Every structure is written in structure tokens, then in C-alpha cells.
């Protein structure tokens, strides 16, 4: 478990100067995605744990074999298997962080990203997955709520196991103020009340509306985590899943930097955080320089 978690735990990199980037392992803020944990270490579609009866016989058999490989002849309820596995992964990732915060990003990938998971047959085929049920709309949908409840149970168990406040939440793909309010309510219904026992809930800024309307969005959350690649994708209208278009992720485009300026201006007038998450920061020297000039000295990568 630990080895797998180390591979997907994003750690903080420090911008030493305008030209040099040095990665620091297991220091500073960590970010782990439930999408990655499920895909890498569990391999079962989230819908399976609430809709097992709808699976084909072949998938049912594969599912039972997978659980048997893990637990032998011991009988384990499917939902408990999922929650226990996810809890263990979260606890392992959080312990790698020591006393530093671990930000756990709730499921936010598009449906295409889950097609290789066991039980993907349960997910509705979407015309445009990148703009479909994602993040807040995914959790609020009646078909996905039971799965969301199980994810919340794993997070609660992980926080209880650690006995601390270092696990924080990041809500992805929040399109509107209504979705922001809905997410806070949905989490509270599951016993993850923002502010209770020190729980912080952040918003993943990945669509331009998040930056354009940041002054209002910030009131619903304890801070922002900016996914620069996704922000660039939607700001520039690029479809990274279409290989024939041969897009290069342009995180240094003027439009992206302008959106970052808007976010920084809003957060700068509050006591809240704004963390930058950029997987390609080493290939973005102009963005590095711009962040450094604006006194941003660390990036989650």
C-alpha cells in the first residue's frame, strides 16, 4: 500500500529563484487525488459499491476473485472492502506528510478516465465527458450519492485514525455558487462539516468561472487549490483527449496568467490560502518566473 501511495502523492516543490526548481520529498503540503487512489490501488469503479446487482455475471465473478485475492476465504462486504482500502491508503499518505497538511481531492475526473476500471459498464456514456458529470455535479447526482457516502466514510475513518486535523478536503469542478453551497451541505450531511474538528474544505480552481467569480466563491471555502493545467485547458478551449489535435499544454499563456492574477488579488485580501498545483512546472519557465515575482515560492507538483 505504502509504495503505491508514494507514487501518487504530489509533494511541494520550492522555487529557489526564477530559473531553478528543486523538488522536496515529503515536505510541505501534499495533495492526493481519490481518482488516482482508486485507479492505482483499488481498480474498481466507484459505482460498483452501490450498484453491484446491476453488474454483468462476468464482472461479478471478476469482482469476487479480486476480493478473494485480497482476503482469501474471509467473507467481506463489498462496501466495507472499499472503505477499508481507501482508509488505509489515506492514512498511509497522511503519515508520509508527518504534521504537514494532506489535501485530499475528491473524485473529479471525467467519465473517460474511469473506463478501464472494473465495473465501468455502470457509468453512463457521455457525449462530452470533460464537460459532463464531474466534481460537484457528480456527487449531487442521485446515482452517485451512495458512492459519495462511502468515500466520506473513508475520509472520516482516516481522520479518526490519525487523531489530528492534517487531512483537509479539496472539492473539484465547482461550476456555480449553487454547486458550492450544495457541496458544503452534502459534506455536512455525511458528517464532514466544514470547521468541525478543524476540517478545512478547499475548492479546486479548474474552470475560468472560479477565477472570474473568486470574490464570491472564497466565502464558501477555506481556500483555493489551482490546477493550472486544467485551468489552461478550459481557458483555451483545448481537448487534451483528442490526440489528433496535438495540443501542447500552455500553462504560460497570457489568459492563464490573467486568471491567476484574479485569484491572487482575491485571496490576498483574506487570510485564506491559495496553493498552486502544476504537474508541468519544470517545463514552464515563464510561469515559474511570474510566480516568483509574485512571491509564490512553492508549487504542488
Is the pLDDT at 282 greater than 50? The verdict is yes
* pLDDT tens for each residue of 122-134: 988 888 888 888 9
| Least reliable range by pLDDT among 22-36, 113-127, 229-243 | 22-36
Instruction: Answer yes or no: is pLDDT of 66 > 70.
Output: yes
Residue 82 placed within a domain: yes
- Residue 288 in any domain: the answer is no
221 pLDDT band, cuts 50/70/90, is very high
Full domain range(s) for residue 134: 29-199
> Does any domain span residue 118?
yes
Residue 73 or residue 277, greater confidence: 277
- Which residues lie across from 203 on neighbouring strands? 171, 224
Local confidence band at 164 (pLDDT 50, 70, 90 cut-offs): confident
- Cα–Cα nearest to 138, from 34, 58, 292: 34
pLDDT mean across residues, the chain: 85
Q: Tell me whether residue 76 is in a domain.
A: yes
Cβ atoms of residues 21 and 282 within 8 Å: yes
Does residue 253 belong to any structural domain of this protein? Answer: no
How much is the average pLDDT of 260-287? 89
Which of the two residues, 65 and 103, has the higher pLDDT score? Answer: 103
**Does residue 181 fall inside a structural domain?**
yes
Domain count for the chain: 1
User: What values do phi and psi take at 227, rounded to 5?
Assistant: -90, 100
pLDDT confidence band for 73 (50 / 70 / 90): low
Asked, for residue 243, whether it belongs to a domain, the answer is no
> How much is the pLDDT for 96?
87
d(CA 82, CA 124) in angstroms, rounded, equals 21
In a domain, 53, yes or no: yes
Sign of the torsion angle spanned by Cα atoms 233, 219, 107, 31 = positive
Nearest to 202 by CA among 98, 85, 108, 91: 108
* CATH number of 191's domain: 3.20.20.60
pLDDT at 23: 40
- In this predicted structure, what is the pLDDT of residue 152? 97
pLDDT given at position 13: 59
Amino acid at each position: 500500500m505504502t509504495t503505491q501511495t508514494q507514487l501518487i502523492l504530489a509533494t511541494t516543490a520550492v522555487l529557489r529563484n526564477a530559473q531553478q526548481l528543486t523538488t522536496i520529498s515529503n515536505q510541505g503540503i501534499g495533495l492526493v487525488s481519490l481518482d488516482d487512489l482508486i485507479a492505482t490501488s483499488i481498480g474498481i469503479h466507484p459505482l460498483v459499491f452501490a450498484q453491484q446487482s446491476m453488474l454483468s455475471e462476468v464482472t461479478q465473478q471478476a469482482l469476487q476473485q479480486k476480493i478473494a485475492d485480497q482476503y482469501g476465504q474471509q467473507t467481506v462486504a463489498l462496501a466495507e472492502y472499499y472503505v477499508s482500502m481507501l482508509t488505509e491508503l489515506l492514512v498511509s499518505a497522511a503519515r508520509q506528510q508527518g504534521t504537514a497538511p494532506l489535501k485530499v481531492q475528491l473524485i473529479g475526473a471525467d467519465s473517460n478516465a474511469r473506463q478501464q476500471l472494473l465495473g465501468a459498464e455502470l457509468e453512463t456514456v457521455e457525449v462530452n465527458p470533460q464537460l459532463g458529470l464531474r466534481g460537484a455535479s457528480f456527487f449531487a447526482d442521485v446515482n452517485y450519492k451512495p458512492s459519495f457516502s462511502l468515500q466520506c466514510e473513508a475520509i472520516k475513518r482516516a481522520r479518526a485514525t490519525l487523531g489530528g486535523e492534517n487531512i483537509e478536503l479539496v472539492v473539484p469542478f465547482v461550476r456555480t455558487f449553487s454547486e458550492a453551497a450544495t457541496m458544503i451541505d452534502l459534506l455536512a450531511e455525511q458528517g464532514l462539516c466544514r470547521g468541525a474538528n478543524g476540517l478545512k474544505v478547499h475548492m479546486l480552481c479548474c474552470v475560468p468561472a472560479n477565477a472570474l467569480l473568486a470574490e464570491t466563491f472564497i466565502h464558501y471555502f477555506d481556500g483555493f487549490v489551482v490546477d493550472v493545467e486544467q485551468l489552461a485547458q478550459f481557458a483555451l478551449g483545448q481537448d487534451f483527449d483528442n490526440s489528433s489535435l496535438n495540443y501542447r499544454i500552455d500553462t504560460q499563456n497570457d489568459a492563464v496568467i490573467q486568471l491567476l492574477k484574479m485569484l491572487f488579488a482575491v485571496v490576498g485580501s483574506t487570510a485564506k490560502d491559495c496553493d498552486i498545483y502544476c504537474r508541468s512546472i519544470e517545463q514552464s519557465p515563464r510561469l515559474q518566473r511570474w510566480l516568483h515575482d509574485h512571491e509564490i515560492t512553492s508549487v504542488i507538483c
